[in-house]
Structure 1
């Protein structure tokens, strides 16, 4: 575990907006791109916007992880329940996100895509909750090793946000 992966002893870490600026920028950029994509279909409705948003968001975050697969896997295995037991899952996860991104952007097998999102992000959220309860202080591998954002309730919110959006798309 490298110094860039853990930040033990920094008690102010994750307490300021600046700590989350890379994440906020990516979320905002994904929302703007989703709006532009949805608007390109002549009218922005919630379903089209959510598909575009989830597709762009997952694409960006998958690529951040793929830039340094082993760095991502090293952090991911510290809190993800499946990656702790099956090392290959840590390497496969960014490609699962990438596949989901393409499926959202192309409206491929929507019901399968929604259920897969619920399973992947629901399971991921459980691992984040356990890590947060244990007080694990690591850089969130959700942004790969490219950007430094602490694993926190923001990470949990991302997982739950993806899960909720998939459920909305599934049942509305």
Structure 2
């Protein structure tokens, strides 16, 4: 099968040769033809190879970017996305945070006073259960997106699959208040590792899809993702400290 891709970052014949060599090194690639005047690549492959794998082959050279060519339509997806406001882009994640916050606060009405530890437990339970749900809707799609920026998933393919179920397990653990110390410690470690790749991608201004809601919503990687991970790190750290006092 043959696919066409749009390239960027090609400034000389050396760039063309470098990109061709990197893409040709991928297992299953039969041939790579690059048209430097149009920044296009025609790739023949034995079986379908995801664009994510092609991007991973170029990750050590950030200036080289590759995207699958879209068929011309009256209103292309990229145009639609560029016309979206910040609120429209992040509406799904804002609604999710709004629902989780509201429900976890409503639970507090049964208490005589506000219980911060209980509220954080319920909030984090809702966070991990909802976010793991969206990841599990299209697990393969999530793994492909997650590989683009996570420091472990890039080297260990199975980590993406494990991560989705780790989130599910953490959600259930927070909901049932199972081994609070261990649950918060695991959360602190896992989310601290996760935020490394997010920070690298945002600081390097990579235009990639955030995998926080799996492959269901096309959310771009941004400071919103950093805030999301940092919030879980802060809450788990705070609860660990509260357990000592």
Q: Structure 2 length as normaliser, TM-score?
A: 0.64
Q: Residue 215 of structure 2 aligns with which residue?
A: 145
Give deviations 1:18-69, integer Å, cap 9, x for gaps: 1111110000011112123343456431111110000001100000000000
Aligned to 2:233: 163
SS of structure 1 residue aligned to 2:148: coil
For 2:202 and 2:240, locate their aligned partners in 1 and report how far apart those are by CA, in whole Å.
Answer: 29
Out of 112, 133, 157, the residue aligned to residue 203 of structure 2 is 133
State yes or no: 1:102 paired with 2:172.
yes
Larger RCO (CA under 8 A, 6+ residues apart) = 1
CA distance in 2, matches of 1:33, 1:101: 15
Q: What is the aligned partner in structure 2 of residue 58 from structure 1?
A: 128
Residue number among 213, 219, 224 corresponding to 1:154 in the alignment: 224
- Aligned residue for 1:24? 94
Provide the aligned C-alpha RMSD in A.
2.4
Unaligned runs of 5+ in 1: none
TM-score by length of 1: 0.89
Label 1:105 to 1:38 Cα distance change in 2 as closer, same or farther (>3 A): farther
Tell me which protein shows more helix as a share of its residues: 1
- The Cα shift of 1:9 comes to 9.4
1:118-129 equivalences in 2 (<5 Å)? 118-129=188-199
Q: What is residue 162 of structure 2 aligned with on the other side?
A: 92
What is the alpha-carbon distance in structure 2 between the residues aligned to residue 57 and residue 98 of structure 1? 10
TM superposition shift of 1:10:
9.1
Q: Match for 2:185 among 86, 106, 115?
A: 115
| Deviant stretches of 4+, over 6 Å | 7-11
CA distance in 1, matches of 2:83, 2:131: 22
Q: When the two structures are aligned, how many residues end up with a matched partner?
A: 170
Q: For the residues of structure 2 that align with 1:14 and 1:160, how far apart are their CA atoms? A: 26
Shift of the 13–70 alpha-carbon distance from structure 1 to 2, 3 Å rule, reads farther
Aligned to 2:140: 70
